[in-house]
Every structure is written in C-alpha cells, then in structure tokens.
C-alpha cells in the first residue's frame, strides 16, 4: 500500500478513521472525524468517500459520517466469537432467569477483558460491562478468571508490564489475585468497578484447561450468594465448553 507523507499506509489511515468513532457514538461530523483520526481533512474526506462506496461508512447532509451497515454485517457474519456466543446464549439465559441480574461473556484480548455478550433486565444493578467494551484484567472478575487460566509464560509477561494508572494496585497484589482465582476456580471482586456491586466470573476451559472465555455475573453486594452462584456458573461454563467441542 502506498504511504502518506507521515509514513502511514492506506490501511493504517483506514483503521484510524474507523477507530475514531468513540464507544456509543456511530455518527460524527467529517471535520471531527478528521481531527479524531489525526488526518488532514482532505485525506479523511477521500478515505470516507472510498469507504462509503463499499458501504462501510455512510455520509449524510452537512458532512455527517456514520458507520455503515455493511461494516456491521461483515463483522458479525465473520466474527471469531460467533460460535462462542451461540454456544453461550442458552446458558446465559438460564443464569439470568435464576438471578434476574446481569450476565456477561468475555474473552481475553491482550491485557484486557473484551466483552462479547451481555444480558440485563430492568431493575438489575449497574453493569459497566458493555458488548464490545473493554476492562483491564485487574479490575474485572472476568479478566481475572481469564488470565488466571492462561499459560504461565503469558501471565509472567502480563505481570512484568503491569501498571495501574490509578496507582492503587501493585503487580504483587494482582499476582495474589490470580493465584487465588486459579486455586478457587472463580474470580470475585467486590465494589471495584461500582461500590454497590459484586462481580463473580468463572472460566470456560478448553481441552488443555486454558480459558477461552469467562462467564460472569454482576449482583448487588447485599444479595451476594457465593455458595449458590459459583456452582451454577461453573455448570453453565462446562456446558458452553461442551458445545464448543461438539
């Protein structure tokens, strides 16, 4: 691909344009899109026009640009998490019917938990986890459940580079959390993301006993029923694992 004067390839610039849309925002003015992507307005306009021709972006009146349906179609049709979500949904529905609270499904992406599915009902507690949203491993029960069941070398790499932007958590503290999670078979974090909620998550394990996903719930602190929650989640996680290997 030809490079720009800044050294970026065409692919680099396309990714910067598509990635410029913040979470929860599907529409931007062209000028704002150019600014957020760090591109000259003329370059942004050219890329938007080319992507719009393929349905990946859509343009409207007044320089408005929004994500195209074609992009949504391609991502969902070929997503590597599609089989996981299909396997997990019936079990997530069962868990939600029993708890009447938030249920989520996450995978590990780098040093973050990426949430690929979530179920919630009116009246359930606040849940910061959103579909396609991310959380650092150390502030998410799903992240801890995922990392605690990875290769030791990957865990070592994670802990070596670990820093807490808030300056409240050390690598040694995270190491202890991971060890406890691996020993218990589940992760729990109380009041970390939200002071009134408790997050519990269990790993979905493959044949090598490595976590390919984490199944979690978010419940009110005062309704914490660990002895009932964990076995239900672990049973569901085993069911998801069986579906993935059938």
Tens digit of each residue's pLDDT (9 = 90 or more) over 58-87: 998 888 999 998 888 887 776 778 889 999
22 has pLDDT over 50: yes
Beta carbons within 8 Å of 161's beta carbon, 6+ residues apart:
111
φ, ψ of residue 25 to 5 degrees: the values are -120, 120
Q: Which of 184, 189, 185 is nearest to 173 (CA)?
A: 189
pLDDT mean over 179-187: 96
pLDDT of residue 2: 44
pLDDT of residue 124: 61
C-alpha dist (Å) from residue 32 to 44, 45, 186, 211: 10, 11, 43, 40
7 has pLDDT over 70: no
31 has pLDDT over 60: yes
pLDDT of residue 1: 40
pLDDT classification of 122: cutoffs 50, 70, 90: low
Any idea what the Cα angle at residue 126 is, between residues 120 and 128, rounded to 5°?
90
Query: What pairs with residue 13 in β-bridges?
Result: none
Query: What pairs with residue 202 in β-bridges?
Result: 215
pLDDT mean over 162-190: 94
190 has pLDDT over 70: yes
User: pLDDT of 165-177, one tens digit each?
Assistant: 888 899 999 999 9
Q: Which domains does the chain have, with CATH numbers?
A: 10-75 (1.10.10.10), 79-245 (3.30.450.40)
Q: Which residue has the higher pLDDT, 126 or 153?
A: 153
Please provide the average confidence, as pLDDT, over all residues in the chain.
88
How far apart CA 216 and CA 115 sit, in angstroms, is 10
Predicted TM-score (pTM) of the model is 0.79
Q: Which of 196, 245, 246, 237 is nearest to 90 (CA)?
A: 237
pLDDT classification of 221: cutoffs 50, 70, 90: confident
Burial code (b: 16+ CB inside 10 Å, e: under 16) for 120-146 equals beeebbebebeeebbbbbbbbbbbbbb
Of 18-27, 29-38, 89-98, least confident by mean pLDDT is 18-27
């Amino acid at each position: 691909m030809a490079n720009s004067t800044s050294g970026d390839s065409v692919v680099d610039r396309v990714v910067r344009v598509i990635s410029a849309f913040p979470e929860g925002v599907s529409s931007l003015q062209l000028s704002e899109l150019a600014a957020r992507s760090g591109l000259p307005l003329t370059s942004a306009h050219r890329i938007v026009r080319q992507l719009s021709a393929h349905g990946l972006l859509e343009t409207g009146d007044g320089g408005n640009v929004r994500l195209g349906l074609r992009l949504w179609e391609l991502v969902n049709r070929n997503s590597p998490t599609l089989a996981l979500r299909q396997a997990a949904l019936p079990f997530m529905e069962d868990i939600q019917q029993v708890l009447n609270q938030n249920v989520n499904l996450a995978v590990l992406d780098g040093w973050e938990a990426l949430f690929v599915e979530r179920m919630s009902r009116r009246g359930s507690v606040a849940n910061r986890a959103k579909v396609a949203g991310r959380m650092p491993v150390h502030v998410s029960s799903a992240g801890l459940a995922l990392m605690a069941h990875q290769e030791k070398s990957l865990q070592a790499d994670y802990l070596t580079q670990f820093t807490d932007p808030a300056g409240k958590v050390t690598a040694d503290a995270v190491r202890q959390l991971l060890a406890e999670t691996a020993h218990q078979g589940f992760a729990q974090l109380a009041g970390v993301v939200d002071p009134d909620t408790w997050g519990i998550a269990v790993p979905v394990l493959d044949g090598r006993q490595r976590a390919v996903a984490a199944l979690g719930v978010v419940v009110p602190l005062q309704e914490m029923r660990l002895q009932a929650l964990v076995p239900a989640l672990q049973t569901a996680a085993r069911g998801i694992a069986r579906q993935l290997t059938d």
